[in-house]
Amino acid sequence: MKTLPLFPVTTVGSWPRPPALLDAQRQLRRGRIDRALFDGVADEAVTDLIRLQEQVGCDLITDGELRRDNFYSFLAQKLDGVRLMTLAEMLDVVEDKVGFERLLQTLDVPAYSISNPTCVGRIVRREPLALDDLRFMRRHTQRAVKVTLPGPYLLTRAMFVAEVTRAVYPTKEDLAEDVVSMLREEVLALAAEGADFVQLDEPVLSELAFAPGRTRTFMCAALAARKDPAEELEFAVTLINRVVSGVTGVRLGVHVCRGNWSRDETTLLRGNYQPLAPYLERLHAAQLVLEYATERAGDLLKFENKELGLGVVNPRTDTVETSDEIRRAIERALRLYAPDQIFLNPDCGFGTFSSRPMNSTEIAVAKLQAISTAARELRGQHS
């Protein structure tokens, strides 16, 4: 792992896709261009983004998930046994059609814009999920590199659509077994290949804490949670720990947020981390990457034996936080965490769904710039 300065600046993952890449994604989906041509366009976009992050002052570089359609559906291309189903197709197969339709109505996402990676056969890791992306990044930057992956709980929830999955995996727990081994294999490969940071995204955890029994999420996955929230959280901790336990040579992080699919803050979940704390503290991950710029996340909590990836800018607003505001947020965190326990990041990605980014590149850059200015100022005082 490369040495990082105090208050390392990084992103949570997704970044707005440039127009040429969006176009290539569309062409690829329609079969008008081949994979190699798409990769050429994506390589250029990722290289540009790496340069941009270096210029802005990011210490831990990501590829912005630019090659992915969204943060988890890309798995359909990498795994056997997974098929992307549109919401219309889902509506055809689910038994609870009324409930499902009600779910769609509460969403602030055009239904056609999402496809769910659904498990329709035995899960086999046909090709690595992000290993090639890591190799590409390492060829194009000397800085430390972060790789993001959907977490095992999110994936199990998303992929298990009882009506079509049950024939292969009778229960969600059965599916989880193969999801865990597939992800563990990937994390081990990323560590061996020199990733500095691997982040597992588990946004649905907040739904268990803040909307138990409600299916107000951007994923059809919500249909698969019928158990007691405490039992589900316990299940999630077990899965994550089985993926990462004993993995060395790489910093592991888990990202949790309250939804990042809408700019309408009232449709997103609200509540502080207290109900999640006993579970998050038990994760075998060095760092929790958490949103704190939005007031919906409540007061800062001290998580024992954890580094904090402190969310200091809101990816869904046009107003750019000032470096003074960010510095004050870091100073508040310094009352609970040592300087070398704090990483700086936006609350979540800037471009969750490729067709529907949460912000423009210009604003995203300005926000990162503000973070890196604040980091530079504070490094002087704390080194």
Q: Which residues bind Zn ion (CB under 5 A)?
A: 203, 257, 260, 348
* 41 versus 268: smaller Cβ distance to Zn ion: 268
Residues contacting residue 10 through CB under 8 Å, at least 6 positions apart: 58, 59, 60, 61, 62, 146, 197, 309, 343, 344, 345
What's the rounded Cα separation, in Å, for the pair 22 and 55? 24
Shortest distance, position 154 Cβ to Zn ion, whole Å: 11
Q: Closer CB to Zn ion, residue 12 or residue 300?
A: 12
How many residues are listed for the chain in this entry?
383
CB of 126 to Zn ion, least distance (A): 27
Q: How far apart are CA 353 and CA 154, in angstroms?
A: 16
Nearer to Zn ion, 72 or 303 (CB): 72
Minimum CB distance to Zn ion, residue 348 (Å): 3
Residue 81 or 309: the one with the smaller Cβ distance to Zn ion is 309
Nearer to Zn ion (CB atom), residue 17 or residue 327: 17
Q: How far apart are CA 375 and CA 7, in angstroms?
A: 6
Four-residue CA torsion sign, 292, 294, 295, 297: negative
When the beta carbons of 94 and 252 are compared against Zn ion, the nearer one is: 252
Rounded least distance, CB 260 to Zn ion, Å: 5
Query: Do the beta carbons of residue 157 and residue 224 sit within 8 Å?
Result: yes
Least Å distance, CB 203 to Zn ion, is 5
Q: Which is nearer to Zn ion, 169 or 303 (CB)?
A: 303
Contacts of 61 (CB under 8 A, 6+ apart): 10, 50, 53, 54, 137, 141, 143, 144, 145, 146
Please report how close the Cβ of residue 38 comes to Zn ion at its closest, in angstroms: 26
- Helix, strand, or coil here: 19? helix
Q: Name the minimum Å distance from CB 29 to Zn ion.
A: 25
Mapping DSSP to helix (H, G, I), strand (E, B) and coil, where does residue 149 land?
Answer: strand
Q: CB of residue 349 vs Zn ion: minimum separation in angstroms?
A: 6
Task: Choose between 6 and 221: whose C-beta lies nearer to Zn ion.
Answer: 221
Q: Sign of dihedral through CA atoms 347, 214, 93, 164? A: positive
Question: What is the C-alpha separation between 29 and 23, in angstroms, rounded?
Answer: 10
* Cα separation of the two ends of the chain: 20
